[in-house]
Structure 1
């Protein structure tokens, strides 16, 4: 699955819907000498996404797409990515499910970070489900995206201990702190394969 970087960095788009904390950690990572990526584009389906302000701060192009007509929108996004020579998409809290058609037609790799230890708890409300089931650990997973929800090949995972006092909110905070470390590690890992 290696993407050859040579000396050139891989042009990357980060897709977000919310606060963009993973986006921020990926931008910081992309500025490091050892980073194989350069973030060229921030894509959001939500014009109110707080993460969009990182585009302004770090001078990265932002693009908002309305997903009301998903098929048409996805065609527009694919054309736009092609025009900008994007070869890697990092989904970072992007709350739209990309169609099988989009995934197959994107000529590169798509990664996602998910707040559970996949294959457990695909989809939403992962922290609440882990607590209800009295799991000892939760965590996060970075995986390749395929046409089945949260089912692509796992790149890496990080476990987080669940304390008896944890709420879905406190667990989410602990897991998010690990996500910020895990995503860059996953990117380094796939480029060194």
Structure 2
């Protein structure tokens, strides 16, 4: 667990690959008075990620590194994180797997939000798997990141009912709404 020191907010980086709705939500959360984090850096492996617009909108530093050579990209990112004094990382739709070495350097200080009730449906296509298996409940999980994909200690989970009419797209929308509440709640839980 990471403890909050004094009244200073924890300098945080958010890693994204896509639209950035969780990023936008985390930025709004970071601006409230009792939020334990400040978002000081947005990182993406995708220069076309729509979520990067929030770095301009909220005047937050951004960095884009392609993961064509993951080792080079990670070394560059670690140097930037050190320079910016980043102490905590939130993965929010980041579609690359970080190396064991990278994770070790931020052990216990990287969290991720995953669109299933872990340990069920690790990896991709979680909504389709839940519907295909005729699950009655799906949901989302915030967990600590470890070297094993979607396997770190669970911080919080939220269940969402699957209706008979749900498609992977409609289920994804329902779960995303819950993700936006769960991620800030999980961060508060870690730091309080």
When normalised by structure 1's length, the TM-score is: 0.98
| Count of aligned residue pairs for this structure pair | 192
The superposition leaves residues 76-115 of structure 1 with CA deviations (integer Å, 9 ceiling, x where unpaired) of 1111101100000000000000010110123660000000
Q: Which residue of 1 aligns with 2:26?
A: 26
C-alpha separation between the residues in 2 aligned to 1:158 and 1:93? Answer: 17
CA distance in 2, matches of 1:148, 1:41: 25
Give the CA deviation at 1:143. 0.3
CA contact (8 A) 2:108 2:144 kept: no
CA distance in 1, matches of 2:107, 2:177: 31
Question: Could you report, residue by residue, the CA deviation over 1:29-60 in whole angstroms, capped at 9, with x for unpaired residues?
Answer: 00001100000000000000000000111000
Q: Which residue of 1 is the match for residue 40 of structure 2? A: 40
Q: Which blocks of at least 5 consecutive residues in structure 2 are unaligned?
A: none
Instruction: Output one character per residue of 1:103-158: Cα deviation in whole Å (capped at 9) or x when no partner.
Output: 01236600000000000000000000000000000000000000000000000000
Alignment of 1:7-156 (within 5 A): 7-106=7-106, 109-156=109-156
Paired position in structure 2 for 1:157: 157
CA contact (8 A) 1:143 1:154 kept: yes
Q: C-alpha distance in 2, partners of 1:141/1:132?
A: 20
- The separation in 2 between residues aligned to 1:108 and 1:82, in whole angstroms, is 16
How far 1:61 moved relative to its partner?
Answer: 0.5
Q: CA RMSD in A?
A: 0.9
Give the Cα separation in 2 of the matches to 1:124 and 1:75. Answer: 26
Unaligned regions of 5+ residues in structure 1, if any? none
Per-residue deviation at 1:188?
A: 0.2
Q: TM-score, normalised by structure 2?
A: 0.98
Q: Give the SS at the match of 2:69.
A: helix
